[in-house]
Structures are given as structure tokens and as C-alpha cells.
């Protein structure tokens, strides 16, 4: 951020999941963009879907800030690096303000991010069916962590203008902070229930009308000038010397193929940027569009997404599957995460009992379920033979999928993952490929990047 630019930041937090913070976040982003401001979006936690919304509204990649996956200095570096040319940074929280990795502390919560970055907080409260009680809720949030800078309240889901005035008066009298805006209970202006299948429609611009309507509503019912006053921090956060994005000791001459389309598109921006920092030329291709593996590449990255939504089309692209299969069998250093891992198996079975052949590299198949099979943050310990994460090395990431892998034969596992339900073996190693359900954040162990690219260089020779 330039010296002359005023630094503004705001955390949009909720009292709990479903309070409406995503709707409010998108409305504020759209209204600020309409004012001609450059808005940088962030999302607390590992979620990929809300950042897709943010990018659609702001025109800039949104970044994940997770104080459990990443060190405090790394969070600050990612935040400062992305915010430096923005007029305002809007950070959308995750779950409730104090919900994170540990019920007994702020670890991994939106509250911890707000403290780490010294950002003011706009607390979104679902005020449906309450009046003065809303003040008690806000008071409780103020008292649980006095260091948190809850600067203002947004009254969501009020029944009428009169209901809003009652809630506003109660909160401002009892809590000493302003209530700066509201939205009524109007389902037409709420963000559709978020699921993976929505992402392509977001990227095609089909929700542009919703974003415009949200901006209209914010301009009508929010004191935007007051909000910008509250969002103005006295000083930008102190940022340590770049470590994550410091100049590497060496660069690698590698062309890395990256699958990116509606079926495969869940990548942390920093993962791709670190590969480029260390010298990789990223070559994007679309398996879904029938584009075979690009020629003259020394590595392959197939990220997450939802190949199950496009299983029939992917299965029909035999030229693509042949090109990837033969390259992997020749030892092309490959990382396949979640959706990419599913693509490498023998088949994807849907919830109607239909089965679609995939690459057939990983023996077994994945079957879709109607309920979540796994969700949560993961600490990953490398295994012997894992060129990305050898035994003794650890990294952090997350797992989120509705499918279950049914192996036909045993392969060496890629990791041991540790989450709320204990330790388990995950993924597999074959040829020169690491495949598994866990989405790794390379910033939790940048050595992954150097080891991968070194392996790619050796393969190229």
C-alpha cells in the first residue's frame, strides 16, 4: 500500500453460522466498488467458495487467512501483500466470531484474526424475533474478549423499520457502539445456499444482478460514510520482513501444468504464486474442455473442485485421460488433491448408482454420498517415499468432501492426517504422484515447493 493511501480494514463477523455475514460482506463490497474504491477481499478459514464470490464482486483474488494453518507472521504477510494497493480490505469471518479450532480459546477463530491484524469488527446479528435481547447478545460478545475491537453492529433479518429502530436504540444504549445498518427478512436478497455446484455460475457472472441489488440495499439502509470512518485504522499493521515471499536461494526452470476449469479450480492463490516465485512457469489447461496435458511440462498439479458434477463429460474425454495417464506412468511429478485425487481413481459413482470411468491410476473408485464424508482442518505428517512431504515433515491444510474412496488394492499412503477425530492414513503414492483428499496450504511448509520443483527438474533431465 502506498504511503499516501489511507489504510482501511473491516472484519465482517457473525454471531453464528447463518447470521448473514456473507450477504452483508458481498453487499458492502459491491457498494464500495460502486463508489470507485479498490476492495480487497479475505476469508477467515480454509473455505474456497466464499472467496469465489468475493472475486466476482471485487475483481481481485480473495485470500484465505487462517491462524491455525499459518503462523501469525505468515497471516500478516499475506494480508499486507494483498492489501498494499487496495483502498479497503474486507475480511469475512467464519462461523461465529469466537468459533475456531478450540472451544476454550480464540485459536483459529475470526476473533484471533481481528486481533492479529488489529482490525475493527462489524458484528452481524440475526435480530429476528427479538428486541432488547439483541443488546444482551452484543454485550456478551463484547465481554468474552475485551481486546476485540467490535466497532459497530449490523442488524440483520429485522421485520420492519420500526423493529430496526427498537433494536438500534437498545444496542446503542447498552453497548455504547453504533448500529450502522440493517436488512429486512427478504429471502430474494439472500445469497443462495452455498455448495460446490454454484461456483461455475458465479464465475459466469450469473449472480451479477444479485450483487447489484445488494449494493442498492446497502446504499439505502447503511450509513456508508460512518462505516468508512470506523474502518479507518490509525496505522497499518506492523509487517515483518517478507519471509514467505522472500527471494528464494535458487529458482527452478520448470513448466508446470495446472488443471483449471469448472471441474478443477480450488487452489490457494499463494500455492500458485509460490510455485511462480521459485521459478515455475504455470501452464493452465482444461480437461473438461478436452485439452490434453500440455507438451513439454515437467510437473502436474490437479487441484480440488467437483469432478463428480462433470463426471460424464470428463469420462468422455479419452484423449485427455490418455495423455495424463501416460505422463503419470512415466513418472511426471504430480500432486492431485481431493477432486484431483478422485479423477485419478478408476471411477466416480454418483448418488443415483451411475458409474463413470476416470483415469484408473489409483486402484479403486470413489462413491458420492448425500452427506459430508469429511470436513475439518488437518495437520499432515509426511510418509516415506513422499517427495513433497518426506517422513519427519509436516504441513497443514483441510479436508472437505462428500465422496468415499473404496480401494481395490493397497498402495503406500501419502500422509498421516490429524484432525478432531484422531490420526488416520490418507491418500496414496504411485509412480511420482502424491494423491489424497487433503488440500495442502504450501505456506504452512514452503519446503513443499522447492522439493516439488527440484523433482520436476530432475524428471526433465
Please state, as a whole number, how many other Cβ atoms lie within 10 Å of the Cβ of residue 101: 18
Catalytic: which of 338, 428, 455, 456?
338
C-alpha cell at 321: 485421460
Write out the H or E segment, with its range, that includes residue 202: helix 199-203
C-alpha cell at 301: 498439479
- CA-CA distance, 257 to 138, in Å (whole number)? 49
- CA-CA distance, 12 to 25, in Å (whole number)? 6
C-alpha cell at 399: 479436508
- CA-CA distance, 411 to 373, in Å (whole number)? 21
338 is catalytic: yes
C-alpha cell at 425: 492414513
Alpha helices in 311-430 (DSSP H): 311-316, 318-329, 339-344
- CA-CA distance, 403 to 374, in Å (whole number)? 9
- CA-CA distance, 350 to 185, in Å (whole number)? 36
DSSP SS3 for 103: coil
Please state, as a whole number, how many other Cβ atoms lie within 10 Å of the Cβ of residue 431: 13
Which residue in 253, 286, 177 sits closest to 459, CA to CA? 253
Write out the H or E segment, with its range, that includes residue 130: none
- Residues annotated as part of the active site: 338
Amino acid at each position: 500500500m502506498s504511503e499516501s493511501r489511507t489504510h482501511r480494514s473491516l472484519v465482517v463477523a457473525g454471531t453464528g453460522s447463518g447470521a448473514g455475514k456473507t450477504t452483508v460482506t458481498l453487499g458492502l463490497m459491491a457498494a464500495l466498488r460502486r463508489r470507485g474504491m479498490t476492495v480487497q477481499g479475505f476469508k477467515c478459514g480454509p473455505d474456497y467458495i466464499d472467496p469465489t464470490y468475493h472475486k466476482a464482486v471485487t475483481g481481485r483474488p480473495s485470500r484465505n487467512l487462517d491462524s491455525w494453518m499459518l503462523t501469525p507472521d505468515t497471516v500478516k504477510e499475506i494480508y499486507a501483500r494483498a492489501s498494499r494497493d487496495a483502498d479497503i480490505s474486507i475480511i469475512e469471518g467464519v462461523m461465529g466470531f469466537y468459533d475456531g479450532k478450540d472451544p476454550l480459546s480464540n485459536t483459529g477463530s475470526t476473533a484471533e484474526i481481528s486481533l492479529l491484524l488489529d482490525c475493527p469488527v462489524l458484528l452481524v446479528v440475526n435480530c429476528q424475533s427479538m428486541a432488547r435481547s439483541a443488546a444482551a447478545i452484543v454485550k456478551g460478545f463484547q465481554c468474552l474478549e475485551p481486546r476485540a475491537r467490535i466497532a459497530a453492529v449490523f442488524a440483520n433479518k429485522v421485520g420492519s423499520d420500526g423493529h430496526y429502530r427498537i433494536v438500534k436504540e437498545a444496542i446503542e444504549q447498552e453497548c455504547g457502539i453504533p448500529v450502522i445498518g440493517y436488512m429486512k427478512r427478504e429471502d430474494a436478497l439472500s445469497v443462495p445456499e452455498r455448495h460446490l455446484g454454484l461456483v461455475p455460475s458465479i464465475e459466469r457472472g450469473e449472480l451479477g444482478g444479485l450483487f447489484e441489488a445488494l449494493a442498492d440495499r446497502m446504499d439505502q439502509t447503511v450509513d456508508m460514510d460512518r462505516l468508512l470512518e470506523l474502518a479507518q485504522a490509525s496505522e497499518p499493521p506492523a509487517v515483518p520482513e517478507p519471509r514467505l515471499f522472500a527471494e528464494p536461494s535458487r529458482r527452478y526452470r520448470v513448466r508446470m501444468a495446472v488443471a483449471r476449469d469448472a471441474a478443477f479450480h480450488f487452489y490457494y492463490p499463494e500455492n500458485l504464486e509460490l510455485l511462480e516465485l521459485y521459478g515455475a512457469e504455470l501452464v493452465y489447461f482444461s480437461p473438461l474442455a478436452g485439452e490434453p496435458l500440455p507438451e513439454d511440462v515437467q510437473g502436474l498439479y490437479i487441484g480440488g473442485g467437483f469432478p463428480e458434477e462433470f463426471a460424464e463429460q470428463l469420462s468422455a474425454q479419452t484423449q485427455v485421460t490418455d495423455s495424463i495417464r501416460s505422463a503419470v506412468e512415466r513418472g511426471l511429478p504430480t500432486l492431485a488433491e481431493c477432486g484431483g485425487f478422485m479423477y485419478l481413481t478408476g471411477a466416480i459413482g454418483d448418488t443415483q448408482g451411475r458409474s463413470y470411468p476416470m483415469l484408473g491410476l489409483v486402484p479403486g473408485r470413489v462413491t458420492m454420498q448425500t452427506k459430508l464424508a469429511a470436513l475439518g482442518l488437518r495437520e499432515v505428517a509426511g510418509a516415506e517415499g513422499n517427495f513433497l512431504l518426506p517422513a519427519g515433515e509436516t504441513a497443514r491444510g483441510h479436508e472437505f468432501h462428500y465422496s468415499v474412496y473404496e480401494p481395490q488394492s493397497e498402495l503406500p499412503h501419502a500422509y498421516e492426517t490429524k484432525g478432531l477425530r484422531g490420526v488416520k492414513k490418507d491418500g496414496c503414492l504411485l509412480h511420482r504422484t502424491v494423491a489424497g483428499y487433503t488440500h495442502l496450504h504450501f505456506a504452512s511448509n514452503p519446503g513443499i515447493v522447492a522439493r516439488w520443483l527440484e523433482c520436476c527438474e530432475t524428471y526433465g533431465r
